[in-house]
Structure 1
Amino acid sequence: MINKIRHFSNWPIPIKIVFSFAIVIVLGSLFLALPISQLESSEATYFDHLFGAISMVAVTGLATVPIAETYNIFGQIITLILIKLGGLGLITIVSAIVMQFGRQVSMREEITLQQALNRSDMKGFRHFLLNVVKYTTLFEALGALLFMFKFVPHFGWGAGIFNSIFLSISSFNNAGFDNLGTVSLQNFVSSPIINIVVPLLIILGGIGFSVWFDVAKHFKQFSASRSWVDFKGTYRRLKLHTRLVIKWSLGLILSAGVIFTLAEWTNPQTLGSLDFSGKVQAIFFQAVTLRTAGFSTLNFSEFHIFTLITFTVFMFIGGSPGGTAGGAKTSTVALVVKLMIAEVRGLTNVNYKKRTLEMDIIKRALVIVVMFILLNFFALALITIFDEQIPMQYLLFETVSAYGTVGLSADLTASLSRQSQVVIMFCMFIGRIGPITIFTALGNRNRRNKDIRYATGNILIG
């Protein structure tokens, strides 16, 4: 056993990350398939449990069977464990526990953690890692406490407390699962607690751990600012990555809200039937959740086609690096957009906030975005073979939702053919791990002597 552990420690880092998620998925599906995990009325097959386990570990939210009608309390606890392991990553959690008990983490292990959390450096890594687990637990506990004000009167003490904990963990980890029924959170479309707390937990989980700590580091300066000049000065002292992520996250939420308002305000099946307060709450909720979380307080199958297509773009972008969210990531897409702007303007370098960005980072961002686009269209092409009768816009919405680990669906997942569901399973897994990690793991080879340069050539484009 010790030799196997030592052998695992010598594996390439991307393979470690892929393997850690894969083993949790397999074990999770086996636990979910146990009779003690299911309600007596459950008719779920092992395929349904495997699909659910992948979706839980990938913190997506798509499912072929509803949680509330399939799993008992024990099964729902297994669900929460899988969501937690998927949200923070098995490697991260195990290493945090090991370090808490005093064992030193090797340089090789730190590099593995660095890639699992998307960190660019290892300075103060032990402190950073333990704070991730500590503050994650704190935010989830606060969320659960707030949900209790809604759920305890509604469900009673026992069920109310458990449902509050379940929804808080699922929200913070951007998982999109709930144990309240078969229609997500549509029964709470006018509940201020649900419409405020759930989106805030989603934002905190999806914005990235490094952003948390950078903002927290300057929190006293923010709170002590007595003028706009002081505030702007403090903001400029934030890391470049932090400012980019905050700017893009706010911009995406606002733009999604505006588009949703214009498109659905008078739709009687969505916003049109709500009063003004209900509309504002629903707009904010959907604008936040559509990028990565998978919860919904409205039925997406009733949205206009324009809304679904537009929302597909937001789902593709997803959350931010180093958090619990999926997708191509805000900073990645932002770099590609800035590259396009630089090319249109005829600029040699890509600049942001009076800083020139390294071309290696720009190239990697471009590769990730292109790879996500190609994989999405490949998955879409496969599903159209197996479910040709379903309109294209709904299939595209489903595949992008899976790759972006969003979990929103136009009531389609359970009705897809088994072949299409298998495609969705691979989409969720690849979307959570990341195309770069997957293909690096599969094609990991010695890179020596590969940086070969020949005589300059020229190819016409455009």
Structure 2
Amino acid sequence: MRAAARWLPRFQHPAQFVVAGFASAIAVGTVLLSLPVAREGPASASFLDALFTATSGVCVTGLIVVDTPGYWSTFGEVVILGLIQVGGFGLMTTASLLVLLVSRRIGLRSRLTAAAETKSLGLGDVRRVVTGVAKVSVLFEFATALILTVRLLIGYDEPLGRAAYLGVFHAISAFNNAGFSLYSDSLMRFATDPWVLIPIAVAVICGGLGFPVLLELRREFRQPRRWSLHTKITLSATALLIPGGMAFITYSEWDNDATLAPLSVPAKLLNGFFHSVMPRTAGFNSVDVEQMTEGTWLGTDVLMFIGGGSASTAGGIKVTTFFLLLFVIVAEIRGQRAVNVFDRQVGARVQRQALTVALLSVAAVVIPTIIVAEATPEISTDRAMFEVISAFSTVGLSTGITDSLPGAEQAMLVLLMFVGRLGPITFASALALRNQEKLYDLPEGRPIIG
């Protein structure tokens, strides 16, 4: 037994458990989707198609290389739905538990501060985190599914069973920010229907806020002064990004005959709002993304890269990382020695963590973009960058080039989805847990900047 134990993998860090768990889920999903019963027709799916779809499902991305309703059977669709649910629930739970772990590994004074700041995550209350995430997920998914089912039943004459199936699938896909759809045109057929687009957008927003924020809002919704710094940053950033993105996309596409121009003014505003929410990182689309202007693509790139809230189903570098760095810039411009956000001071260690995550994420986007652009000269650089950011930020929006990429580049997107989903979470926790105290400081140097 001792000899056998030597061959077992030894996990020295919690992040290793996270990576191993999600890799195992992807492996199981790949096997299930490779079965002949998972595909429409006599043949089974290729390994790369099954791997790509399983990774996209577990990492709640939504990028596809085959048409979901046309290629996969009902069994395959249920497998994808299960992978989305496992991936979304696992992400929210894992991220929340890592917050607990980090708060328990810091000093006593910092621990007390963390306990006061993260009221939604009590130190050591693991069971409450898990059950809380489950309750939140079921609540939002059930409410969204109910609205969609009734709308499809009454407004589109779908049979009850079919309406319920479509409602549940899209509700789970929306709350988990996955973006998988059982319609070949995603949600373009519902471009003028607020009863479909708004519930899905609300589910995406709530899933992208994260469990700590949702739980804190439930407890202290009427007392904003008692909200933690994390909740204040997440809600403030969301309140700025969604209207800002809506204004930009609506203005940019207003006269585009292939997207918003044929729609009425209310429908234009509805779709501008919807496409401002999706980069948080859902991936549904109600108008043709491929026909959008290059300026809209670039603005969407920025929204996708920022992503949603920490400890949520959203991807990207997270709004807390982005806006914390924005506050650092403001403090430096003003000549302030400390970085103050709302009524709290942010420590230098947290600033370095945010900068590290952001710069590594930039590298994770730039290098694959260059590879795709060089390997496929027929694809423009802006399309290649859009696809890479969508994969890394686990968004799922596409300009229509995913299925036309060579196998090697599709495999790279698989790795990018995996790294983009787990990388920021595990790496940030690793930085927080890695705390080495030095007994001395080197003399200060001042290199020339700029």
The TM-score with structure 1 as length reference comes to: 0.87
> C-alpha separation between the residues in 1 aligned to 2:129 and 2:66?
38
1:163 to 2:141 alignment: no
Q: Which runs of 5+ in 2 are unaligned?
A: 106-117
Match of 1:262 in 2: 251
Report if aligned partners of 1:383, 1:423 keep a CA contact under 8 Å in 2. Answer: no
Structure 1 residues 392 and 77: CA distance shift in structure 2, 3 A = same
1:367 to 2:356 alignment: yes
1:459 to 2:411 alignment: no
Match of 1:36 in 2: 37
Which of 307, 327, 330 pairs up with 1:338? 327
Match of 2:84 in 1: 83
Q: How does 1:436-447 map to 2 (within 5 A)?
A: 437=426
Between the two proteins, what is the percent identity of the paired residues?
Answer: 31
Report if aligned partners of 2:315, 2:393 keep a CA contact under 8 Å in 1. Answer: yes
Which of 291, 310, 316 pairs up with 1:302? 291
Structure 1 residues 429 and 190: CA distance shift in structure 2, 3 A = same
Structure 1 residues 444 and 278: CA distance shift in structure 2, 3 A = closer
Report if aligned partners of 2:175, 2:207 keep a CA contact under 8 Å in 1. Answer: yes
Report if aligned partners of 2:186, 2:284 keep a CA contact under 8 Å in 1. Answer: yes
Match of 2:318 in 1: 329
Structure 1 residues 395 and 108: CA distance shift in structure 2, 3 A = closer
Which of 172, 186, 189 pairs up with 1:187? 189
Match of 2:269 in 1: 280
* Partner SS for 2:198: helix
> C-alpha separation between the residues in 2 aligned to 1:285 and 1:348?
40
* Partner SS for 1:69: helix
> C-alpha separation between the residues in 2 aligned to 1:184 and 1:450?
54
Q: How does 1:158-237 map to 2 (within 5 A)?
A: 158-180=161-183, 182-219=184-221, 222=222, 234-237=223-226
Report if aligned partners of 2:289, 2:399 keep a CA contact under 8 Å in 1. Answer: yes
Q: How does 1:39-54 map to 2 (within 5 A)?
A: 39-40=40-41, 44-54=45-55
Match of 2:383 in 1: 394
> Residue 21 of structure 1 aligns to which amino acid in structure 2?
F
Match of 1:231 in 2: none
Q: Provide, for residues 49-85 of structure 1, a one-character-per-residue CA deviation record: whole Å limited to 9, x for no partner.
A: 1001111111000011121012222111111111011
* Partner SS for 1:434: helix
RMSD of aligned residue pairs (Cα, Å): 3.1
Structure 1 residues 431 and 10: CA distance shift in structure 2, 3 A = closer
> Residue 459 of structure 1 aligns to which amino acid in structure 2?
P
> C-alpha separation between the residues in 1 aligned to 2:98 and 2:297?
44
> C-alpha separation between the residues in 1 aligned to 2:140 and 2:270?
22
Structure 1 residues 108 and 253: CA distance shift in structure 2, 3 A = closer
> C-alpha separation between the residues in 1 aligned to 2:104 and 2:204?
23
Deviation at 1:91, TM superposition (A): 9.7
* Partner SS for 1:356: strand
Match of 1:111 in 2: 101
Q: Which runs of 5+ in 1 are unaligned?
A: 97-106, 223-233
Report if aligned partners of 2:89, 2:137 keep a CA contact under 8 Å in 1. Answer: no
Structure 1 residues 321 and 451: CA distance shift in structure 2, 3 A = farther
> C-alpha separation between the residues in 2 aligned to 1:48 and 1:4?
35
Match of 1:425 in 2: 414
Q: Provide, for residues 269-316 of structure 1, a one-character-per-residue CA deviation record: whole Å limited to 9, x for no partner.
A: 111010122112111111111221000001011111111111100000
Report if aligned partners of 1:20, 1:90 keep a CA contact under 8 Å in 2. Answer: no
> C-alpha separation between the residues in 1 aligned to 2:304 and 2:17?
27
Structure 1 residues 86 and 186: CA distance shift in structure 2, 3 A = same
Deviation at 1:154, TM superposition (A): 3.6
Structure 1 residues 5 and 356: CA distance shift in structure 2, 3 A = farther
1:66 to 2:67 alignment: yes
* Partner SS for 2:151: helix
Report if aligned partners of 2:205, 2:280 keep a CA contact under 8 Å in 1. Answer: no
Report if aligned partners of 2:92, 2:312 keep a CA contact under 8 Å in 1. Answer: no
Match of 2:148 in 1: 147
> C-alpha separation between the residues in 2 aligned to 1:355 and 1:91?
26
> Residue 151 of structure 1 aligns to which amino acid in structure 2?
L
> C-alpha separation between the residues in 2 aligned to 1:142 and 1:446?
41
Structure 1 residues 269 and 242: CA distance shift in structure 2, 3 A = same
> C-alpha separation between the residues in 2 aligned to 1:294 and 1:38?
23
* Partner SS for 1:155: coil
Report if aligned partners of 1:25, 1:53 keep a CA contact under 8 Å in 2. Answer: yes
Deviation at 1:439, TM superposition (A): 9.5
* Partner SS for 1:351: strand
> C-alpha separation between the residues in 2 aligned to 1:403 and 1:148?
32
The TM-score with structure 2 as length reference comes to: 0.89
Structure 1 residues 345 and 376: CA distance shift in structure 2, 3 A = same
Structure 1 residues 164 and 363: CA distance shift in structure 2, 3 A = same
Deviation at 1:122, TM superposition (A): 2.6
Deviation at 1:158, TM superposition (A): 1.9
Report if aligned partners of 1:62, 1:407 keep a CA contact under 8 Å in 2. Answer: yes
Report if aligned partners of 1:184, 1:295 keep a CA contact under 8 Å in 2. Answer: yes
> Residue 421 of structure 1 aligns to which amino acid in structure 2?
Q
> C-alpha separation between the residues in 1 aligned to 2:34 and 2:158?
27
> Residue 176 of structure 2 aligns to which amino acid in structure 1?
N
Report if aligned partners of 2:317, 2:424 keep a CA contact under 8 Å in 1. Answer: no
